[in-house]
Chains A and B, each alone.
Chain A
Amino acid sequence: MRIAIALLLLISAHFAWAHKPSDSYLTLMSTDSAVDGRWDIALRDLDYALGLDADQDGAITWGELRARHDDIAAYALARLKLDADGTACATRMIRHEIDDHSDGAYAVLRFRADCSHQPVALNIDYRLFFDLDAQHKGLLGLTHGGATQSVIFSADAPRRHIAIGAPDHWREFGDYLRNGVWHIWIGFDHILFLLSLLLPAVLLRRDRRWQAGESFAAAFREVAKVVTAFTVAHSITLSIAALGVVSPPSRWVESAIAASVVLAALNNIRPVVTGRRWIMAFVFGLVHGFGFAAVLVDLGLPKANLLIALVAFNGGVELGQLAIVTAFLPVAWWLRQGLFYRRVVFMAGSIAVAAIAAAWLIERAFDVRLVT
């Protein structure tokens, strides 16, 4: 009869599951020459390996667990080897926590691996529990430079070579360049400011009236002066703010940018400054530069490659501007003779811009919502 018992215990095809098999969850974040780790390991598995339930009452208390923290760290970290391009990284425990997963409580090990340099490839050797539970798996999420890759370690695949890649300066340059262009493209306040200054470039102010400009070269020079002044000015403040020399409060900066748009538009309706608009572009350009800097800081500045980021972002902003100017000038020149340009585009346009910017100014200065 004993044979029968043994036989039946082994056939169970129709019922193969319950609970969850053993998994650990490893999260690694690679930054410069260090790897920060969070490792969630089921207390049940640690108990099977190390015997955590000191009084054998079937319950693990925080006290019992705390008493074994050193053993747990030593046991686990000895079974996880990280190396940077063949040079071992030294792991050290930072702190112990616990977390509840869908199948019970897990020990959370926070640790740090110090590598000799920033790795091009990270080699990971994961050996936790495979000798005790051949179906255990280690689920890794490795984050590097904003991208996350997932890897599953198993008894049959305990080692992984993960290419992180050398820091790619060209790619970084491209990223910041794109961000600069993008910011001009979505930054209506910058576009409207620039357009307000450019609209009169194809016109002439004579006898307190606007007339069509006579020389394309003169219009082109005017545009070039305004754009250059704006660019030089915002490059200056963008740099000093990004480098942390000064950092004016963003509410003031944003309000001043809105005010600059209002003034530029009003100046078209009731001109005060007619001759030297480039000075206006320069003065207010200084304010806009602080606005760009805030975006750049939000994007996260790489400490190692600050200069690259700065130059690329600024370059992106210039390219964006250039695109706007290139689209604007020929059309404006072509339209300048007609009443449509002077009445609708120039006058009504400037009034609309002044109104929108005034709304922004109130919103930003008083922190209220007028238009969505």
Chain B
Amino acid sequence: MRIHVAFVTACALASAAQSLHADPRVPVDDREVVERLPVAPGAEAQELRALRAALAQAPGDLGLAVRVARGYVAIGRSTGDPRYAGYAQAALAPWWHLADPPIEVQVLRATLRQRVHDFDGALADLDAVLTRAPRNAQARLTRATVLTVQSRLDEAAQECARLKGLVDELIALACSENVGGLTGRLRQSEARLRAALVRSTDTDPGTHSWVAAGLAEMAERAGNTEAAAAGFRDALAADPDDVYSLAAYADQLLDHDRPEAVIRLLKARTRVDGLLLRYALAAQRLGRDDALSSIEQLRARFDASRRRGDRVHLREEARFLLHLARDVPGALTVAKENWSVQKEPADARVLLEAALAARDEASRRVVQSWVALHHLEDAKLTNMLRKSNPIRN
């Protein structure tokens, strides 16, 4: 029976791999659709296309270039499609390699650098901007975000404090309370931010979605499942296509053993790799037929990314290796590498899971000390740590 299952699995894998690496072909029917283009958000994309055409005529026009770059960065964030980052960078080409580019360009350069997880490069740009323009709100907010990702939480808190008066009150508060929620004041921070969100009635959908998703994550860490789910739904109601909220909500659903809800949520969105990962995790748990093909597709995408020399998707790759490819040593290696780049609760989670699976006490202790150092409250993480006794080999 076991052999039989293994054989069927091997055949399925082989055929899936084959379908991904078929030989080149020449279609016979002119009507055959060979590729569907991703639908870029309508009016904005139209406007951007016109701007890009104008920029092509006048590539040295700084104002135009910055508008084009900002437009692509924005589409890139909402669609999660890295090509737009490349388009934005191309628009800034005349200034990209300057040591001291115009302030707007340097802020955008920092944004694009943090997207490929060049956090130190991004911080260098942001420091330079803030020396020249201390009241640049964008630079402060981006700096606070990068510092949070790097778990430099004291500095992040200072940066958020300096935002007061520079930006909308809700945004400044969300910045501070998000950091507060990671440093031992989870319940107060959540309550304060929730009250502020309720108070501000004229919030735009993008801000609302961002704050609501942050609140949902805090609720989840506090162990308040219902409030968390409601928060993610609130965030998605404000911005249904927000990739970050979709991924975070899917993770929450997976943690509470609701894989069918994940399938429903992400079925039409698997073109985005991060969402395909969650979809595959849910499909595997349900024993669905498309689990294997999703796994093979992910494997192919991670391989492609490694071939081009990218190390951006380490957190997701570690989860893929641990739960889907079942390569425990590989997962631990990638999880450790990821931890050297970014240190958020999700990074700690995958490192701890890999450490427990691989019985690696050193990595388990890394997570334990990190949680203790920041007084991090995270129901799932502390529960896992409590249940795992020191590993003895």
A contacts, CB < 8 Å to B = 1, 3-23, 38, 43-45, 47-48, 53, 58-63, 65-66, 95-105, 108, 130-137, 139, 152
B contacts, CB < 8 Å to A = 20, 22-27, 29-39, 70, 73-74, 77-83, 85-87, 89-90, 92-93, 96, 107-108, 111, 114-117, 119, 137-138, 141-142, 145-146, 148-149, 167-168, 170-171, 202, 204, 206-207, 210, 243-244, 247, 271-275, 297, 300-301, 303-305, 307-310, 312-313, 316, 344
Known pairs A9-B73, A61-B33; A3 contacts B167 (CB<8 A): yes
Contacts of A60 in B (CB 8 A): 33-37
Query: Is A16 a contact partner of B90 (Cβ separation < 8 A)?
Result: no
17 A-B interface contacts by CB (under 8 A): A1-B168, A6-B138, A10-B74, A10-B138, A10-B141, A15-B244, A17-B274, A18-B81, A18-B82, A43-B34, A62-B27, A63-B31, A98-B26, A130-B90, A134-B90, A134-B96, A152-B308
Contacts of A12 in B (CB 8 A): 77, 111, 114-115, 244
Contacts of A16 in B (CB 8 A): 82, 114-117, 312
Q: How far is the CA of A22 from the CA of B83 in the complex (A)?
A: 6
Contacts of B37 in A (CB 8 A): 44, 47, 53, 58-60
Instruction: Report the nearest B residue to A105, measured CB to CB.
Output: B35
Q: How far is the CB of A26 from chain B (nearest CB, A)?
A: 12
Which of B30, B313, B344 is close to A62, meaning CB atoms less than 8 Å apart?
A: B30
Contacts of A66 in B (CB 8 A): 30
Q: How far is the CA of A11 from the CA of B87 in the complex (A)?
A: 18
Contacts of A62 in B (CB 8 A): 27, 29-34
Q: How far is the CA of A182 from the CA of B141 in the complex (A)?
A: 68
Q: How far is the CA of A182 from the CA of B263 in the complex (A)?
A: 58
Known pairs A10-B138, A12-B244, A19-B271; A133 contacts B87 (CB<8 A): yes
Query: Is B204 a contact partner of A5 (Cβ separation < 8 A)?
Result: yes
Which of B22, B89, B146, B204 is close to A135, meaning CB atoms less than 8 Å apart?
A: B89
**Given A13-B149, A14-B344, A15-B77, 9 extra CB contacts under 8 A:** A8-B206, A9-B78, A10-B70, A12-B111, A47-B35, A47-B37, A61-B30, A98-B26, A102-B304
Query: Is A100 a contact partner of B83 (Cβ separation < 8 A)?
Result: no
Which of A19, A58, A95 is close to B39, meaning CB atoms less than 8 Å apart?
A: A58
Q: How far is the CA of A61 from the CA of B27 in the complex (A)?
A: 10
Known pairs A63-B31, A102-B20; A133 contacts B83 (CB<8 A): yes
Which of B20, B33, B79, B307 is close to A18, meaning CB atoms less than 8 Å apart?
A: B79
Most A C-beta atoms less than 10 A away, residue of B25, B34, B39, B108: B34
Contacts of A21 in B (CB 8 A): 82-83, 85-86, 308, 310
Which of A6, A133, A139 is close to B90, meaning CB atoms less than 8 Å apart?
A: A133
Instruction: Report the nearest A residue to B117, measured CB to CB.
Output: A16
Instruction: Report the nearest B residue to A137, measured CB to CB.
Output: B308
Which of A4, A22, A44 is close to B168, meaning CB atoms less than 8 Å apart?
A: A4
Q: How far is the CA of A252 from the CA of B165 in the complex (A)?
A: 94
Q: How far is the CA of A228 from the CA of B250 in the complex (A)?
A: 79
Q: How far is the CA of A98 from the CA of B33 in the complex (A)?
A: 12
Known pairs A7-B171, A8-B210; A18 contacts B273 (CB<8 A): yes
Query: Is B244 a contact partner of A10 (Cβ separation < 8 A)?
Result: no
Q: How far is the CB of A106 from chain B (nearest CB, A)?
A: 9
Number of A-B contacts (CB under 8 A): 220
Contacts of B85 in A (CB 8 A): 21, 135
Query: Is B34 a contact partner of A98 (Cβ separation < 8 A)?
Result: yes
Q: How far is the CB of A22 from chain B (nearest CB, A)?
A: 5
Query: Is A4 a contact partner of B116 (Cβ separation < 8 A)?
Result: no
Contacts of B77 in A (CB 8 A): 9-10, 12, 15
Instruction: Report the nearest A residue to B40, measured CB to CB.
Output: A58
Q: How far is the CA of A341 from the CA of B141 in the complex (A)?
A: 92
Query: Is B81 a contact partner of A104 (Cβ separation < 8 A)?
Result: no
Q: How far is the CA of A20 from the CA of B73 in the complex (A)?
A: 16
Instruction: Report the nearest B residue to A67, measured CB to CB.
Output: B30
Q: How far is the CB of B377 from chain A (nearest CB, A)?
A: 19
Contacts of B247 in A (CB 8 A): 15
Contacts of A38 in B (CB 8 A): 24
Query: Is B204 a contact partner of A152 (Cβ separation < 8 A)?
Result: no
Query: Is B23 a contact partner of A99 (Cβ separation < 8 A)?
Result: yes
Q: How far is the CA of A244 from the CA of B39 in the complex (A)?
A: 60
Contacts of A22 in B (CB 8 A): 83, 86
Contacts of B316 in A (CB 8 A): 17
Query: Is B204 a contact partner of A4 (Cβ separation < 8 A)?
Result: yes
Contacts of B38 in A (CB 8 A): 19, 44
Query: Is A15 a contact partner of B30 (Cβ separation < 8 A)?
Result: no
Known pairs A18-B275, A65-B34, A134-B90; A98 contacts B24 (CB<8 A): yes
Contacts of A132 in B (CB 8 A): 86-87, 90
Q: How far is the CA of A103 from the CA of B298 in the complex (A)?
A: 10
Which of A1, A95, A101, A131 is close to B93, meaning CB atoms less than 8 Å apart?
A: A131
Query: Is B36 a contact partner of A59 (Cβ separation < 8 A)?
Result: yes
Q: How far is the CA of A6 from the CA of B206 in the complex (A)?
A: 10
Contacts of B168 in A (CB 8 A): 1, 3-4
Q: How far is the CA of A69 from the CA of B82 in the complex (A)?
A: 27
Q: How far is the CB of B218 from chain A (nearest CB, A)?
A: 14
Q: How far is the CA of A19 from the CA of B30 in the complex (A)?
A: 28
Known pairs A12-B77, A44-B35; A18 contacts B30 (CB<8 A): no
Q: How far is the CA of A21 from the CA of B86 in the complex (A)?
A: 8
Q: How far is the CB of B104 from chain A (nearest CB, A)?
A: 11
Contacts of A130 in B (CB 8 A): 90
Contacts of A59 in B (CB 8 A): 33, 35-37
Q: How far is the CB of A123 from chain B (nearest CB, A)?
A: 22
Query: Is B206 a contact partner of A9 (Cβ separation < 8 A)?
Result: yes
